[in-house]
Amino acid sequence: MLTLSIIKADTGGFVGHSAVHPRAIEVAQKAIDGARGDLLIDGQVSYCGDDLSLIMTHTHGLEAERVHAFAWDVFLQTTEVAKERGLYGAGQDLLSDAFSGNLRGMGPGFAEIEIEERPSEPVLCFLGDKTEPGAWNLPLYKMFGDPFNTPGLVIDPKMHDGFLFEVHDLMDDKRILLDCPGEIYDLLLFIGSPSRYVIKRVISKSLGEVAAVTSTQRLSLMAGRYVGKDDPVMIVRTQSGLPAVGEALEPFSFPHTVAGAMRGSHHAPLMPVPLRDAHPARFDGPPRVVCLGYQLKDGRLNGPRDMFDDPSFDNARKMVNDIMDYLRRHGPFEPHRLPLDEMEYTTMPAVAEKLAKRWEATDVSVPTITGERTVRASAEDVE
């Protein structure tokens, strides 16, 4: 069995939270090159915005201690690069002091898939920045659940049986498996709330194979304080009974609105971009997604092809800019700003705390800034 792992972390931004420094990429690639042929079959370093991704193939299985320890060590090295250069937020996603067992709960995100490699194995690695794992819900639903997006669901007998969606509740740490298309309405009830319910895996019923997997974690819930959005990654296998490459890319022609962008606290559309444009700028956004395509062969990563480097996504990018113009004019108002319950996982509680003592019961008197009621309006005066 072959495992494809994407393990990612923000270990320091250049400049601000906009990009990974080239030196961090060099250092990480050197570490991967040193591990190739030993721990790893193959590996590449990539990025989206300020997040560094290690894309690796190996035979050690899911959440393997040696592979996760290796990634942790690479992130410590890139944190050193960040510290030396005074990059922004050095070591931002490394929430723990020391590595123990695997990366669960330690800050870095990961999506891993264990497969029996097919004679031709086309896979897509999606990397996002300035958003959260629930951002994959809508595109995954379209790829594997919506025949208007994926004609293969209707035309290809191997897809006709449908797919199982494994959904995680990030608040309660629970999961459920929903059998689609039969349970599509139940699925949509939950995944329509992407800040809490996140599709973790999609499994083909006829092939009995995992077709897609995402990184699911909430940094703010782990750290107990705001440490940035958990910029997500996702692996999608394609073709021969799974969505065709074009069916897996098609959902991104509609730039759906996700949570993220400035201070992780705003709704903004997700822009599909080539790697050269994967650097959020305006309003620390708009949130970006890149897609790296590979043909795996004996675990080797043939690629990447930069899948969104294509004029067919120009309209999506134009739409993003138009929607950004519209949303930005709301300033600090919802629905551009996230709703209150979401803001509770950011730095908002610290601001609210300062004013906590000044909230008082409402009555008919006119309040003053000193708290003394110099002007009193009784019910009779008002009459």
The footprint of ligand F6R (CB under 6 A) covers: 16-17, 130, 228-229, 260, 262-264, 284
Q: Which of 229, 230, 284, 345 is catalytic?
A: 229
Q: Strand 174-180 to strand 51-58: parallel, antiparallel, or no bridges (unpaired)?
A: unpaired
Give buried/exposed letters for 343-360 (b at 16+ CB in 10 A, else e).
bebbebeeeeeeeeeeee
Q: Which positions from 121 to 160 touch Mg ion by CB under 5 A, shown as an x/- string?
A: --------x-------------------------------
CA distance 10 to 91: 7
Least separation in angstroms between residue 40's CB and Mg ion is: 24
Least separation in angstroms between residue 186's CB and ligand F6R is: 31
Give the range of 9-17, 62-70, 206-214, 295-303 binding Mg ion by CB under 5 A: 9-17
88 is a catalytic site residue = no
CA distance 199 to 381: 59
> Which three-class secondary structure state does DSSP give residue 262?
helix
Residue pair 165/202 in contact (Cβ under 8 Å)? The answer is: yes
Measured from the CB atom, the residue of 23 and 118 that comes closer to Mg ion is 23
Q: What is the DSSP letter of 254?
A: S
185 is a catalytic site residue = no
The one of Mg ion, ligand F6R, none whose footprint includes residue 264, by CB under 5 to 8 A per kind, is: ligand F6R
Q: Which of 226, 230, 284, 345 is catalytic?
A: 226
Least separation in angstroms between residue 356's CB and ligand F6R is: 22
The one of Mg ion, ligand F6R, none whose footprint includes residue 129, by CB under 5 to 8 A per kind, is: Mg ion
* Structural element, H or E, at residue 69: helix 65-85
10 is a catalytic site residue = yes
Residue pair 205/162 in contact (Cβ under 8 Å)? The answer is: yes
Burial class of 29 by CB neighbour count within 10 A (0 to 12, 13 to 18, 19+): middle
Least separation in angstroms between residue 49's CB and ligand F6R is: 9
The answer to whether 231 contacts Mg ion (rule: CB under 5 A) is yes
> Which three-class secondary structure state does DSSP give residue 220?
helix
- Catalytic (active-site) positions: 10, 226, 229
List residues near Mg ion by CB under 5 A: 10, 13, 17, 49-51, 89, 129, 231
